[in-house]
Structure 1
Amino acid sequence: MNQPNTLFDKIWDAHVVKSAEGHPDAVFIDRHFIHEVTSPQAFDGLRKRGIGVFNTSRTTATADHNVPTKDQHLPIREALSRHQVETLRKNCDEFGVELYDLGHPFQGIVHIIGPELGLTLPGMTIVCGDSHTSTHGAFGNVAFGIGTSEVEQVLATQCILQNRPKRMRISINGQLTKGVTSKDIILYIISKISASGATGYFVEYAGDTIRGLSMEARMTICNMSIEMGARGGLIAPDDVTFDYIRGRKFAPQGDAFEQAVSQWRALKTDDGAVFDRELVYQAEDIQPMITYGTNPGMGIGIGEHIPNLSEIPAQELVSYTKSLAYMGLEPGMELLNKHVDYVFIGSCTNARIEDLRAVADFVKGKQKADGVEVWIVPGSVQVSNQAKAEGLVAVFEAAGFELREPGCSACLGMNEDKIPAGKYCISTSNRNFEGRQGPGARTFLASPIMAAAAAVMGRVTDVRELV
């Protein structure tokens, strides 16, 4: 009788091309996503070696990190951003890689276009030169970020050398309470185990709470696996997954789809499979979350206070006080009613149509507070078009929110959308590092509806009081 196996190991083992004791596995990669930031050196490496891309049909490129989110039909003004996007165009043209460039109907953030186009499917191995590649794991696949040298490795061979990570299962059970979303689930988990608590592991998210989430909510959770140090995160596929994939452009169609589903149903962890670490949490214990520091593990429920110095381990006091000083906060403070200057709703974590619908539902008939600048940045051209078709754009405009064009935007200070130094931004993105949204910018991470509440009130607000 076969030994019970985890979902991760089933997928990994099916893709190992070569394995040798004491060496990394050579793993075949089904889908390789690339963008303008981490691909130039990789293409240069191929050029110097006089070789091409091994399998162009398994490589998909888009421009997202450096692109402006206003006037995308015009030349990019920022010199470095313009150079990187132009270099991506030249490389894709030279090596025969399909590019979803600015102006293309499929352009968008790399981790949003894969799922919406049906390029992301259960049972795959997926890589990209971006740490939030774990997003794709929501479909029941092994997806992880890689470095530039590894991007070259995959372009050249369609394989990658990787050590097998340890396995962790995090189960969430119970009913989420009012105002609590998938973003709160993952911020809660990271606050419990810290920004390094899953280092060396690949995480499977399980439990009846996870099973009850939509695909877009599951993507939010898997997206932030890296923020607790994990190599990646995944969720076993089910009917929610299959219904989401059905009919998407590059997904199997007709009988081929039904045959694929019959195979995908086997993608689950066996009863009795052993994980290196197991954690279990109750959904009822999770409040709407917000971060207060400079890593995603520094988070609290909206009804809680910033930890006092006496609550912090001695070895962490120096970094803790440095973080609060950067944020202009004090130990023991509450964040409730703290003023905000900017609200950013976007990023590969929370820029899907479901996120925009939730924000529109919340702000309909309301106005943004004076003195707050609100940016809504869809994750793709398709999301943007759908938001227009559903009337969401009219709601945002009536509320005084600015809807921009697709891109990574203010998630990271790599394009024109930067938060000014010293200003507070409540953001639906995934990182709150020093300078992440611009030099000196101060970031509170939260869910889309928590961000929308702050936009309307002009301050950090408990969304439960308004929904």
Structure 2
Amino acid sequence: MENKTLFDKIWDAHVVKSIPNGPDVFFIDKHFIHEVTSPVAFLGLESRGVPVLYPEKTIATPDHNVPTIDQDKTIKDKLSRMQVERLRENCQKYGIDLHDLGSDHHGIVHVIGPELGITQPGMTIVCGDSHTSTHGAFGTIAFGIGTSEVEMVFATQCIMQVKPKKMRITVDGELGKGVTSKDIILYIISKISASGGTGYFLEYAGSAIRNLSMEARMTICNMSIEMGARGGLIAPDETTFEYLKGKQYCPKGEDWDKAVAYWKTLKTDDGATFDLEYSYDAADIEPMITYGTNPGMGIKVRDMIPTTEGMEGSEKKSYLKSLEYMGFQPGEAMKGKKVDYVFVGSCTNGRIEDIRSVANFVKGKQKADNITAWIVPGSREVEKQAIEEGLVAILEEAGFKLRQPGCSACLAMNDDKIPSGKYAVSTSNRNFEGRQGPGSRTLLASPLTVAAVAITGTIADPRDVFEN
């Protein structure tokens, strides 16, 4: 009997048909949609007179364009308003479950899927959003698709996909003080580069990964795409089952026992082979921060920006262009640089654990005067928990501004933009030119590092700030 990887087991179970020397026809268990990539796909269905084949397998929520203040009022931006209205109309027309603005379970699509228990081990999940890889934390094959593919899934519940190569990334050992899952993934991307995972689906393994909470695992899988990978996944275990038990969409009673029995088989067999493997020591990982214009341009907060030594030609030119945009110089220290904004939120770090960690660290302290601090919960459920646990009161007392759920300042598709030339230390996933607004300068970091920056007003190591 062939030894299979976790990825192989899930993939092979979902292949409807293999095309010789071509892609597989691949069945999709759950299809998440939002207001940005679905309208054109729905228009395609209408023009061909084709229905949504399995509306019950599709779940919708508006998140990218929505405002994060006054959500009970009419959306001011015309395009955003139109897209949200179209989502409502299309969900009603085709019988799709919509978690709308103001509803109890509204939020970022990759936050509400897990918290409702829609995301379950062994599934295949797609969404017209690159960070669909988040759901891989549960032992799923989850990846982003384009608008034409959204239409294909609507019509057939299948997609055409060439099976990716397989990579395993093992992180063993114990994490040091102040080091989080966000630091793990920024560290890995800094080692592999922003394109090092291209053509691969990743499996994260090792004791440091197994010891993470589900929310921390989601952060890691979320950023798989930032090294060019198709997606990333982690084998389900007792931590996964405990997180899912009792959630709204999860099996109950005997069905739960049967589901868990199957989920326990979802792991890589001993002796299964990967096309590429990397191993890292958790002890070498420290609080990280990016300094450039892709997520691979990251260093330990205490380190210096790399020099151009050994770089030549286009590589050197591109590197210097990136630093020029950021207003940095090769060989400079990152610590101590002045910052204007901090943002805690997004599908990467907008969950309750993230907000708890920031609140715990800033309790009794005050943000620096030069800092504008935004906290944006990833869902209504997270917002509710943050209020009930007293976290919002702590954060507001420290000078943070709590906004309503949505993608917010992760991307410049809504009103929460960073002004041109300003620096933002962000818990989101991308730091490309203009990602958080035209001319904005983004530095990616963990919620703990963001909390340290907010208190000091400069780039800081959380281990220094919060030991005092």
- Displacement of 1:313 in angstroms is 5.0
- Displacement of 1:367 in angstroms is 0.5
Give the Cα–Cα distance (whole angstroms) in 2 for the partners of residues 200 and 315 of structure 1: 23
Give the Cα–Cα distance (whole angstroms) in 1 for the partners of residues 58 and 311 of structure 2: 46
User: For residue 254 of structure 1, what is the aligned residue in structure 2?
Assistant: 253
SS at match of 2:436: coil
User: For residue 178 of structure 1, what is the aligned residue in structure 2?
Assistant: 177
Q: Output aligned runs, 1:7-406, within 5 Å.
A: 7-312=6-311, 314-406=313-405
- Displacement of 1:158 in angstroms is 0.4
SS at match of 1:220: helix
Distance 1:3 1:166, change over 3 A: same
Matched letter for residue 238 of structure 1: D
SS at match of 2:59: strand
Structure 1, unaligned stretches of length 5 or more? none
SS at match of 1:348: helix
Give the Cα–Cα distance (whole angstroms) in 2 for the partners of residues 93 and 216 of structure 1: 32
Matched letter for residue 365 of structure 1: G
Matched letter for residue 426 of structure 1: V
Greater Cα shift, 189-198 or 248-257: 248-257
Q: TM-score, normalised by structure 1?
A: 0.99
SS at match of 1:349: helix
**Identical aligned pairs, as a percentage?**
67
Give the Cα–Cα distance (whole angstroms) in 2 for the partners of residues 255 and 434 of structure 1: 51
Describe the superposition over 1:271-322 as per-residue Cα deviations: whole angstroms up to 9, x where unpaired: 0000000000000011100000000000000111111011435441111111
Distance 1:311 1:345, change over 3 A: farther
Matched letter for residue 427 of structure 2: T
Matched letter for residue 232 of structure 1: G
Matched letter for residue 458 of structure 1: G
Matched letter for residue 252 of structure 1: P
SS at match of 1:17: strand
User: For residue 460 of structure 2, what is the aligned residue in structure 1?
Assistant: 461
Matched letter for residue 273 of structure 2: V
- Displacement of 1:466 in angstroms is 2.3
Describe the superposition over 1:167-200 as per-residue Cα deviations: whole angstroms up to 9, x where unpaired: 0000000110111100000000000010000000
SS at match of 1:185: helix
Matched letter for residue 378 of structure 1: P
Matched letter for residue 210 of structure 2: R
Could you list the runs of 4 or more consecutive aligned residues of structure 1 that deviate by over 3 angstroms after TM superposition? 311-315
Give the Cα–Cα distance (whole angstroms) in 1 for the partners of residues 311 and 287 of structure 2: 22
Give the Cα–Cα distance (whole angstroms) in 2 for the partners of residues 82 and 334 of structure 1: 44
Residues 1:411 and 2:420 aligned together: no
Matched letter for residue 16 of structure 2: V
Matched letter for residue 400 of structure 1: G
- Displacement of 1:255 in angstroms is 2.0
Q: TM-score, normalised by structure 2?
A: 0.99
Matched letter for residue 130 of structure 2: S
Matched letter for residue 174 of structure 2: Q
Describe the superposition over 1:115-134 as per-residue Cα deviations: whole angstroms up to 9, x where unpaired: 00000000000000000000
Describe the superposition over 1:341-378 as per-residue Cα deviations: whole angstroms up to 9, x where unpaired: 00000000000000001001101101100021000000
Give the Cα–Cα distance (whole angstroms) in 2 for the partners of residues 25 and 360 of structure 1: 47
Matched letter for residue 423 of structure 1: K
Matched letter for residue 45 of structure 1: G
SS at match of 2:347: coil
Matched letter for residue 115 of structure 2: E
Describe the superposition over 1:134-160 as per-residue Cα deviations: whole angstroms up to 9, x where unpaired: 000000010000000000000000010
The two structures, once aligned, show a CA RMSD in angstroms of: 0.7
Describe the superposition over 1:68-88 as per-residue Cα deviations: whole angstroms up to 9, x where unpaired: 000000001111111111111
Give the Cα–Cα distance (whole angstroms) in 2 for the partners of residues 228 and 313 of structure 1: 22
Give the Cα–Cα distance (whole angstroms) in 2 for the partners of residues 313 and 303 of structure 1: 26
Give the Cα–Cα distance (whole angstroms) in 2 for the partners of residues 278 and 185 of structure 1: 16
Count residues with an aligned counterpart: 466
Give the Cα–Cα distance (whole angstroms) in 2 for the partners of residues 209 and 312 of structure 1: 33
Give the Cα–Cα distance (whole angstroms) in 1 for the partners of residues 312 and 127 of structure 2: 36
SS at match of 1:87: helix
Matched letter for residue 134 of structure 2: T
Matched letter for residue 286 of structure 1: I
